Amino acid sequence: MELYFLGTNAGVPTIQRNVTSIALRLLEERRSMWLFDCGEGTQQEVLRSPLKLSRLEKIFITHLHGDHLFGLPGLLSSRAYQGGTAPLTVYGPPGLQQYIELSLGISQSRINYQLHIVEHTGGVLFDDGQFRVESALLDHRIDSYGYRIIEMDKPGKLNQELLERYGIKPGPVYGKLKRGESVEVEGGVILHPQDVLGSPKKGRIITILGDTRPCPNTVLLARDATVVVHEATFLHDLADTAYEYHHSTALQAAEAAKAAGASQLIMTHFSSRYKDQEQLQPLLEEARSLFPNSSLAEQHVLLPIADTGQ
């Protein structure tokens, strides 16, 4: 798993930063990519990245403000020209379907793949036994949602030394045991998965939040997360401004991560008043004063999400 930021600015693009879009690469897990928000210019940023639209499987829109949405029609259209033929599902708040259908219809854009649009108001959006995606409403000027991506626990390691005693070599039997199936070996002995498997490996949790003031659902969605992506539009000396515009400060993002018991905080959605990475350093220092494992999102920088090791 890897996070890749295609845009980290709030409101409007700048020379240094594009508006919001985040890719979650599931390379080993599904050979696919999920996208969270799609601000204007996202497809140009994809062209400058190692990402491929042909591998795009799902898009999750947090809310319908333009800096999170205006790049969507163009990206959906361009995907058809870049080898994207597999079905694509777009999730987002009510109104998303009307926006997509009007944009593509009026422009007479042709989509040669199955496009599914799922409007939601929170809850469990997806569960295939490998990943589950949950969503909950945040506190913004319009309905804005956060997403919690849960990787299911994986089977533990096989005890190869024990299996070799039974004359079992790597192959189909290993796969059956990993899938939780019992197998019969020489002598009529039945081996059960619990006999040869170690403790399950804890799955990772990635929380990606839309624009929001501090609210209980930020903590709920980020509970015990491996990584939390939280907006940090302002420094805390502008907390009143942040509240007025329904945003959060870097310190408030750190407070949410700490309260949730998260392992890592990545901040994004920075005000244009902070023009470059140097001017963003005070936000990082502010967050680290409370939550040391904080970092600033940077465009076109891959951030691997490590296994829990448990």
Please list the active-site residues: 67
* Rounded Cα gap, residues 309 and 307, in angstroms: 5
Q: In Å, how far from its chain's centre is CA 224?
A: 15
* Rounded Cα gap, residues 145 and 227, in angstroms: 17
Parallel, antiparallel or unpaired: strands 183-184 and 190-191? antiparallel
Residues forming beta bridges with residue 127, ordered by sequence position: 132
Comparing CA positions, the residue from 257, 259, 233, 225 lying closest to residue 149 is 225
Q: Is 300 annotated as a binding residue?
A: no
* Helix, strand or coil, per DSSP, at residue 18: coil
* Helix, strand or coil, per DSSP, at residue 85: coil
Q: Is 140 annotated as a binding residue?
A: yes
Q: Is 67 annotated as a binding residue?
A: yes
Q: Is 65 annotated as a binding residue?
A: yes
* Helix, strand or coil, per DSSP, at residue 131: strand
H helical segments located in the chain: 27-30, 42-47, 72-79, 96-106, 160-165, 172-178, 193-196, 216-222, 239-244, 250-260, 277-288
* Beta-carbon count within 10 A of 183 CB: 17
Q: Is 236 annotated as a binding residue?
A: no
* Beta-carbon count within 10 A of 98 CB: 12
Q: Is 127 annotated as a binding residue?
A: no
Residue list for the binding site for Zn(2+): 63, 65, 67-68, 140, 211, 269
Residue list for the binding site: 63, 65, 67-68, 140, 211, 269
